[in-house]
């Protein structure tokens, strides 16, 4: 990969019900820019030029594995909890990295990772 090339990322997650998914991801991410490219997708801009989108594809729903590595994991986890979204489990790695695992209403795994003590 050419490291000088600009990079945009669109990570997709298949869901069965757009309205239910939008409510859950809105609570997970909080106040971030979103847009609706059509009537079966919603996109959240989670960082500059980096996006997570849901798309109604019932036959594929529940199989996504996405991890977002964030600068202040504690703040993001606490903010999601205040909005009613709580991690299902947690993984701690020997190098100080922690991953909080969430599951959307379809069972897709959305992980939030970060370095312990980096907050």
Q: Which domains can be identified in the chain, with CATH numbers?
A: 9-115 (3.10.180.10)
User: pLDDT tens-digit profile of 76-94?
Assistant: 999 999 999 999 999 999 8
Give the pLDDT confidence score for residue 2 in this predicted structure: 60
Mean pLDDT for the stretch of residues 4-26 = 93
pLDDT at residue 115 tops 60:
yes
Q: Compare 39 and 5 and report the one with higher pLDDT.
A: 39
Distance set, CA 20 to CA 32, 56, 84, 86, 87 (Å):
18, 11, 14, 16, 18
pTM to 2 decimals? 0.90
């Amino acid at each position: 990969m050419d490291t000088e090339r600009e990079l945009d990322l669109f990570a997709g997650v298949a869901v069965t019900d757009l309205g239910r998914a939008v409510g859950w991801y809105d609570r997970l991410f909080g106040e971030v820019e979103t847009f609706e490219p059509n009537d079966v997708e919603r996109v959240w801009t989670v960082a500059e030029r980096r996006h997570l989108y849901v798309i109604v594809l019932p036959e594929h729903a529940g199989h996504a594995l996405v991890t977002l590595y964030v600068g202040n994991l504690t703040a993001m986890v606490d903010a999601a909890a205040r909005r009613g979204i709580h991690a299902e489990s947690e993984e701690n790695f020997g190098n100080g990295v922690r991953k909080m695992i969430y599951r959307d209403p379809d069972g897709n795994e959305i992980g939030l990772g970060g370095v312990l003590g980096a907050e």
